[in-house]
A and B are shown apart, each in its own frame.
Chain A
Amino acid sequence: MAEPILIVRDITTFIGQFHILEGVSVSVPRGSISVLLGRNGAGKTTTLKSIMGMTPPREGTIQFEGASLVGKRPYTIAQMGIGYVPEHRAIFKELSVRENLEIAERKSGDLRKRGDLIFDLFPDLKRLITLSGGNLSGGQQQMLAIARALVPDNRLLLIDEPSEGLAPVIIEQLMRAIETLSAQTTILLVEQNFRMASKLAHLYTIIDDGRSVLSGAMPDLVRDSALIQRYLGVA
Chain B
Amino acid sequence: MAQFRKTGGSWGIVISMIVGLLIFSFVTSNNPGTFGITVLSGLFQGMLLFLVASGLSIVFGLMDVLNFAQGGFFMIGAYVAFDVHHPGGLIDLTNTIPNTDIRFIVAVIAAVIVGGLIGAALERGLLRPLYARPIFQLVLTFGVSLVMIEAVRFIWNTTPYSWTVLFGVREGYFTLLGQQFSTYRLFVIAIGIVLIVSIALLLQRTRIGIIIRAGVEDSAMVEALGINVRAVFTLVFTFGCAIAAFGGAIAAPFLGASIGMGSNFLLAAIAVVVLGGMGSYVGTAAGSVLVGLAIAVVATFSSEYLNQPVWSSMTPMLLLILVLLLRPSGLFGERR
Contact = CB atoms under 8 A, between A and B. Distances in A.
A44 interface: no
A102 B214 CA distance: 11
A103 B223 contact: no
B217 A94 contact: yes
Interface stretch (B20-28, B149-157, B225-233): B225-233
> By CB atoms of chain A within 10 A, which of B216, B225, B227, B229 has the most?
B225
A104 interface: yes
B224 A103 contact: no
Nearest to A152: B226
Interface stretch (B205-213, B235-243, B287-295, B313-321): B205-213
- Please classify the interface of chain B as helix (H, G, I), strand (E, B), loop, or mixed, using the class held by over half of its residues: helix
Given A95-B210, A99-B210, A103-B214, A134 B3 contact: yes
Contacts of A95: 210, 213-214, 217
Given A90-B218, A92-B217, A94-B217, A73 B223 contact: yes
A92 B225 contact: no
Given A93-B217, A134-B3, A78 B226 contact: yes
Contacts of A93: 217
Interface residues of A, number: 24
Contacts of B211: 103
Among A54, A78, A103, find the residue whose CB has the most chain B CB atoms closer than 10 A. A103
A119 interface: no
Contacts of B221: 86, 90, 92
A8 B97 CA distance: 65
Interface in A36-71: 52, 54
A23 interface: no
B203 to A, nearest CB: 10
A103 B217 contact: no
Sorted from nearest, which 9 A-B pairs have the closest CB atoms?
A78-B226, A90-B221, A92-B214, A79-B226, A84-B224, A74-B223, A75-B228, A75-B223, A104-B225
Interface of B: 3, 207, 210-211, 213-214, 216-218, 220-230
